Amino acid sequence: MSFRERVKKEILVIDGAMGTLLQQRGLPPGWCPEEWNLSRPESVQEVHKLYLEAGADIITTNTFGAIQLKLADYGLGHRVREINLAAANLAKEAARPYGAMVAGSVGPLGKFLQPLGTMTFDEAYGQFFEQCRALVEAGVDFILFETFGDIGEMRAALIAAADAGDVPVVASFTFDETGRTFTGTDPETAAVVVERLGVSAIGVNCSVGPRELVQVVQKLTQSTNLPVLVSPNAGMPEMVEGRTVFRETPAAMADYAVRFVEYGASVLGGCCGTTPEHIKAIHQSVKGLQPRVRSRQFGLRVASRVKTVSIAPRGIPVAIGERLNPTGKKALQAEIKEGKTEITRRDALAQVEAGAAILDINVGVGGVDQVAAMERAIHAVQVLVDAPLCIDSTDPRVIEQALKIYHGKAIINSVNGEEKSLQTILPLAKRYGAALIGLTLDERGIPPTAEERLAVARKLTERAEAMGIPRQDLMIDCLVLTVSAQPEGVPETLRAITLVKKELGLTTSLGVSNVSFGLPNRGLINAAFFAMALAAGLDAAILNPQEPRMMETLRASAVLTGRDIRAEQYIAREQQAGGVQAPAKPVEQAAATPLEILYQAVLSGDKDNIVSYIETALAEGLSPMELLDKALIPGIEEVGRRYGAGLYFLPQLMMAGETMTRSFERLRPELARGPAKKVGTVVLATVKGDIHDIGKNIVSVMLANHGFEVIDLGKNVDNEEIIKAAMEHRAQIIGLSALMTTTMVHMADLINRVKEQGLNCKVMVGGAAVTAQYAREIGADGYAVDAVEAVSVAKSLVS
C-alpha cells in the first residue's frame, strides 16, 4: 500500500533524530551531515537500521539540509542531486527487509521570502524543486517538509514538490510555546493554507517537547481532516558536563504518543534528542491502535499568515473591504502610477479597524505594469493587517503573481461561466490553493432570471470540482444590476441568492454598492438592499466598511436572521462602542503632526514612506534628535512591547526594524554633525559550525535601532575571530547565537576564553537551542529569548 492509503488505515511510527546519532559515530562539529551520505554511507545506514529495529514504519533520508543554498556553505552546492540520490538509496536499501517506507526529508532554506527578506518566490521554488526532483527520481515513498516556521516558504516548497513528481507530500511545522510558528501562524491557519496544496498529511515537529505540543496537536486535529504527524523533541535541551542532554524519557514520550493518537494523530515519532529507545517505546505503546476518524465540515475558509476567516452558510456574514480599488479614486490612481503604497496602507488599516474581515485588492489603472503594482500592494498590505486578501483582477498574470507572493490562502475575484475564464482562472486556483468568487455570467452576459444564474453557478461548481477544487471553496456572486436602470433585476438577484444556497449549498457574495449607481443618497439604497440580500441568505459582501450604516445593517441583520446566536456579537460590539457607533473618520481627514506620522509609520512598518515623512518633518523645523527621541525610538519601543504581549508577530517586528534602519540611514549625516549618542558596541556572531543566522540578523537590526554599534561577524564564526573583533572594536558586549544543540558547546568555550584573557566585556547568548538554564550553567552574563528581549538585556549589561 502507498503512504496515502496506509496513513488513513493504521497508526504509523516514524524515526527520530539523525544528527546526534551521527555525532556519536564521529561526525565532527561543524561538518556537513549530508556529506556523510557519500563519504560514510555505512554510518548513515547504521542509524537507519537502529530505528527500523526499534519498530519504525518510516525512516527519513539524511537530507534535511541537502538543498543547494545550505550545501553551498560547505562547498557542496553543485552536488545536490548526487547527495539526495545517495541518501535515498541508502534509506531504501535499509528499509527493504523491514517493509518500511522512506520519507525524503527537506528542511527550510534559512532565509526569509519577500517581503520579510530578499528571496523571491521563484528563487525559493527553484531551490526546493531541485531537491524534490532528485528525491522523487530516487523513489522515496513521500516527501516530508519538516521544521518549517514560515507559511510563505512552505507554500513555495509544496508547489515545487507538486511539480517535481507525483508523490505524496507531508507538511510539518514547528510551533513554539505560544502555539504559533515564529512568524505567527497558528495551527488552524497552517492547516487551511496547506490542505489545498495537495498535501497527504500535516504535522508538527521540533522546537519543544511533547508536553508543550498538547494544545497545538489538539487544535490541529480539530482544524483539519488530514492525517496528522507529531514528532516532538525529547524535552528541551540542557548542557551537562559539556554535553547536550534531553531529559524526556522513552516511557514519557510513549505516553504522550498515545494521547496524540486519541486526539487524532496517526504518525508518531520524535525529533531532537530522540533515540531508537524512544521510538521503540512509542512503537510498543501505539501498535494495535487505530486512527481516529475525523469528518468535520468546515465550509469556506481563507487565511492570512496569522488569521483564518470562515464564511459559513449559517455563520456571521462577512464584510469584504472594497476601498483598495482605484475606480473613481484619483488619488489612489495617481499613487499606483507613481509606484507608491501610502494610501493603500492607510486604507487597509482603516478598513480593518472599521470591521472588514477580508480586503479586496485591485490595481486596475491603465498605462501601468499591473503585475508590479499588485506585487507592491500585496507586499505592503500582508505584513500590515491580519485580514486575508481577495485578489481582484481580470488579468491572469496579475492574479498569478499575487497568488505566488501571498503568504496565506487568498480568494480570486473572480471566475465566470465563460470558457476562456474557466480555462485560465480555475488552474490558477488549483495550483496555488486559492478560493474563488464565481460570477453568474457567461458568453451571453448576465442572465435575466434567477434560474439561469443558478444554471451558471451549477456549471461553475461542476467545472471547479472536475479540476479538483472542493465546492466549499467556491463562493457565488449572483450579480446585482443598477436599480435605476433595471429595477426588475434586484428581485431576481435576491431569488438567485436563495436558489444557489438551497440547490447547491454554496456560500454567496455580492458587490452591494453597484445597486445604487446614479442615484442620490446612495448609502440609503445600499443599506436597504444589503438588508434584503442578507435576509435572502447572503454570506459575504464587498462594501465600504467605513460607512457605519452598512456595518450596522450587517450586525443587526445577523441577529434578525438567527446567524448571531443570542445576539452575542451584536451586544459585544455595542458594549465596546458604548451603545453608539461613532461615524468612521474619513482617511483624508486624519490630521496628524509630523511626529505622530513618524510614530505611526514605525508601528506599521511603513519602510517605503518613512524617508519622505522624515523630509517633511525636517522641513518643518524639527531637529533629527527630536525625531529620534519623540517619534522613532518611542515607536520601536512600542513595537517591542506589542511583540512581547503577543499583539505583534515576527513580520511586524522585522518590518518596523527595517523602517527604523531606513530612518537612521537618512538621519545619519545630520546626526554625525551633532553630539554622538551611542549606547555601546556589540560584536554579534553565530557560533562555529552553525550556518543559521535568521535570528541573529534580527537581533542585529534591533540593537542598531536602539543606539548600539553592531559589529556583525556573520555565521559559522570561530571563537578566536570573535575575541579578536571584540578587542579591536573595544566592545562592551559579545552576542552569540546557536540554533543547533551540537554547536552550543562553543559558547562555553568562548566565555572561558574571555575570562582567561581578562577582557572587559559581557557575553550574552540566545538562539533556538539555548535556554536560560544553559546560559547560567556556562556563565553567560545575559540570555535573551528573542530580539526584543536582547535589546533589554544589552541595555542592562552596559548600564
β-pairing, 237-240 with 300-303? unpaired
Which ranges of 395-449 does DSSP label H, i.e. alpha helix?
A: 396-405, 419-432
Buried b (16+ CB within 10 A) or exposed e, 212-247: bbeebbbbbbebbebbbbbbbbbbbbbbeeeebebe
Residues 31 and 77 sit within 8 Å (Cβ to Cβ): no
3-class SS of residue 576: helix
For 273, 489, 531, 694, 766, the CA distances from 686, given in Å and listed in that order, are: 22, 66, 59, 10, 10
The CA-based diameter of the chain, rounded to the nearest angstrom, is: 90
d(CA 385, CA 289): 43
Whose grid coordinates read 460607512? 547
Annotated binding site for Zn(2+): 206, 271-272
d(CA 516, CA 521): 9
Annotated binding site: 206, 271-272
Q: Angle at CA 362, nearest 5°, toward 380 and 600?
A: 30
d(CA 224, CA 216): 13
CA atoms within 13 A on the CB side of 197: 29
Cell of 704: 542598531
CB atoms inside a 10 Å sphere around CB 646: 10
Burial class (CB in 10 A: 0-12, 13-18, 19+), 727: middle
Residues 440 and 456 sit within 8 Å (Cβ to Cβ): yes
Burial class (CB in 10 A: 0-12, 13-18, 19+), 277: middle
Query: Strand ranges (DSSP E) for 181-234?
Result: 201-205, 228-231
3-class SS of residue 307: coil
DSSP category for residue 444: T
CB atoms inside a 10 Å sphere around CB 664: 15
Contacts of 36 (CB under 8 A, 6+ apart): 22, 27, 43, 44, 62
For 35, 46, 67, 701, the CA distances from 43, given in Å and listed in that order, are: 12, 5, 21, 41
DSSP category for residue 586: P
Contacts of 673 (CB under 8 A, 6+ apart): none
CA atoms within 13 A on the CB side of 612: 7
**If you compute the radius of gyration of the chain from its CA atoms, what whole number of angstroms results?**
28
d(CA 157, CA 145): 8
d(CA 383, CA 154): 17
Torsion of CA 415, 417, 421, 422, to 10 degrees: 90
Residues 443 and 419 sit within 8 Å (Cβ to Cβ): yes
3-class SS of residue 760: coil
